Amino acid sequence: MKFELQYTDSKTNARAGLITTDHGQIETPIFMPVGTAGSVKAVHQTELLQDIKAQIILGNTYHLYLRPGLDVLEKAGGLHKFNSFDKPILTDSGGFQVFSLSGIRKLREEGAEFRSHIDGSKHVFTPEKVMDIERSIGADIMMAFDECPPGDSDYAYAKKSLGLTHRWLDRCIKRFNSTEPKYGYSQSLFPIVQGCVYPDLRRQSAEFVASKECDGNAIGGLAVGEPVEKMYEMVELVNEILPKDKPRYLMGVGTPVNILEGIERGVDMFDCVMPTRNGRNGMLFTKDGIINMRNKKWEKDFSPIEANGASYVDILYSKAYLRHLFHSKELLALQIASIHNLAFYLWLVGEARKHIIAGDFSTWKPMMVDRVSTRL
């Protein structure tokens, strides 16, 4: 994988770059639709590629390991062939999913023991096993296995957790370096910076991660319950340390405003389930603000979902029709809303890139923050 830093905003830390992988190029800043189990919910690959214009999607190691399982994925020739997505794919290591199973998992030095949310069967993830699983999935970008502590962790727990994450990272790198990709194309490993909301721990973690000189670096353990101001503070601190010539990935973030704030602070890559999950519940993000499609005010509004929207669905369907679909519990409602929201997110990062290149990001961004946070 190669990363070319093409432009940097003169008044902020916003950057525009180009990531090159064996499955294609990615223009940054970029948003990655989440395809947890190998599928971006309610969206076909043709819509992802041609309408939403996704340049990279995310899969999840934990979910893909449990179902369909490595045997199926390997026989298919990896996730790209299994789900017919021929552009880059990133796999989350499953650390966050194991964290979310707090009631049915045990952490120890060797790894994490957990029970499947599907059938209760017992499994163990070690750093070495996770690297092997991600090799079998075949993602272009693999994430290191880490512990994701709760946002309200006390200092003692956060420090202990960080030590474990760093030792696991060393084991991930050792395994990654001693194994080869399985499907004839290269894979990259991204370490994850942790440390909760404690500046000294975040600094220590960023320095440790930067010293590993991997192809890119991720910032994890944010947007897990801490105040948003703390999240921005930690991102700023970490990005002062992480190398400028490597892509920076802020994991699991977030709202359109979160993404704009992250870009301003030097983040290159984002992912979040919010556009699809909130979309399935009737929340649409638009250039002019947030719409709750279930509200009665849209019942007889026959105007397009979003005039000059980023997707074909915005002009093809009216607000009244989409509201009707939600109230009728029609599956098409989930599909339209997911496509709309993802297209908007990709439009937003694309516009940010244009304004970074044009040199007016610092004046465009606050205007967009005001617009996209308005409730319509």
The residues annotated with a catalytic role in the active site are 92, 271
User: Is 35 annotated among the ligand-binding residues?
Assistant: no
C-alpha–C-alpha distance, residues 167 and 163, integer Å: 6
- The C-alpha atoms of residue 303 and residue 308 are separated, in whole angstroms, by 12
**Nearest to residue 5, comparing CAs of 22, 27, 24?**
27
Tell me whether residue 282 is annotated as binding. Answer: no
Is 6 annotated in a binding site? The answer is no
Opening angle at CA 330, ends 324 and 336, nearest 5: 80
User: Which residues neighbour 245 within 8 Å (Cβ) at sequence distance 6 or greater?
Assistant: 3, 5
Q: Is 146 annotated as a binding residue?
A: yes
326 is in an annotated binding site: no
Q: What is the dihedral of CA 59, 243, 129, 155, to 10 degrees?
A: -100
Strand 217-219 to strand 283-286: parallel, antiparallel, or no bridges (unpaired)? unpaired
Task: Detail the residues annotated as belonging to a binding site.
Answer: 92-96, 146, 194, 221
Task: Detail the residues annotated as belonging to a binding site for substrate.
Answer: 92-96, 146, 194, 221
